[in-house]
Chain A
Amino acid sequence: MTEDAQARIDAAVKGSDVLLFMKGSPLFPQCGFSSRAIAILDHLNVEYASIDVLQDQAVRQGIKQYSDWPTIPQLYVKGEFVGGSDIMMEMYESGELAQLMQDQGVKVAAA
């Protein structure tokens, strides 16, 4: 994997409070798991950034190495890897994800 991709991923992860690596865009998710991740973030009403891995093969492969996690989507909050869509769903249902966002002081999107 290129150093460049790892550096770019690292900068992106550190540059956004809430960052979702996904397939497609929030308006047009290209996979059911990414769609589910977006739905969860929208329900939480938090501000988030997203990166479409389909637009960049180096990032698509590089993120798996960066997080040591084989699937996409992947959620980062304040630079920490939270998990994939299954973990997001479990944490959402139990209220842990909202709590995590609150504890991390993540901005809620304007209504």
Chain B
Amino acid sequence: MPMAADDIAEMIRTAIPDAEVEITDLAGDGDHYAARVVSETFRGQSRVIQQRRVYDALGGRMGGVLHALQLTTAIPQG
């Protein structure tokens, strides 16, 4: 079962409360998403740690239910 974009964003915001989350439905099929997550709490963390925190937020769905999620993480600018 694919996940709704809103559910993905909600799970990420629950785990990383200050996160700005932008989800793009890449194929329009509710199954191929790109997520961009911007959080001040990423500062000083490696990309692997940042992405791992997002994966953790998704509670084991990544790689399973969510096969096709392109993920970009960033720190707020300015």
Contacts and interface: CB of A to CB of B under 8 A. Distances in A.
A90 B47 contact: yes
Interface string B41-53: 0000001100110
B1 to A, nearest CB: 17
A91 interface: yes
B48 A64 contact: no
Main SS of the interface on chain A? mixed
Nearest to B47: A87
Given A64-B63, A70-B60, A86-B72, A91 B55 contact: no
Size bracket, chain B contacts: 10 to 19
Contacts of B48: 69, 81-83, 87
Contacts of B68: 32-33
Contacts of B51: 83-84, 86-87
A86 B62 contact: no
Interface string A17-40: 000000000000000110000000
Interface of A: 32-33, 64, 68-72, 81-84, 86-87, 90-91
Given A82-B48, A86-B51, A90-B47, 18 more contacts: A32-B68, A68-B52, A69-B55, A70-B55, A70-B62, A70-B63, A71-B55, A72-B63, A83-B47, A83-B48, A83-B51, A84-B51, A86-B70, A86-B71, A87-B47, A87-B51, A90-B72, A91-B47
